[in-house]
Amino acid sequence: ILGVRDIHADHAASHIGKAQGIVTCLRATPYHCTRQKVFLPMDICMLHGVSQEDFIRGKQEKNVRDVIYDVASQAHIHLEHVR
């Protein structure tokens, strides 16, 4: 936008965008679950033994929270790359 042509700025912006996308997905999860949709990575859900139905039913067990934590950790990793 400002005419900055720098590979490091582009790289940082890429990671910021990825982190923001992950956080947006997490924040929208309760909304989507009320509409019977789950957009979280199934490989992480399967790792913790969580099904889409667990999210749709609004379960708040430790394994469901662990899925959220792991996904949020990915956003945090992207922010660490920016720093």
Give tens-digit pLDDT for 24-59. Answer: 999 999 999 999 999 999 999 999 999 999 999 999
Q: How many CB atoms lie within 10 A of CB 29?
A: 18
Q: Tell me how far apart the alpha carbons of residues 34 and 52 are, in angstroms, rounded to a whole number.
A: 12
Q: Nearest to residue 30, comparing CAs of 60, 70, 7, 3?
A: 60
Q: Is the pLDDT of residue 2 over 80?
A: no
Structural domain spans, the chain: 7-81
The pLDDT, as a whole number, for residue 7 is 85
User: Can you give the pTM of this predicted structure?
Assistant: 0.84
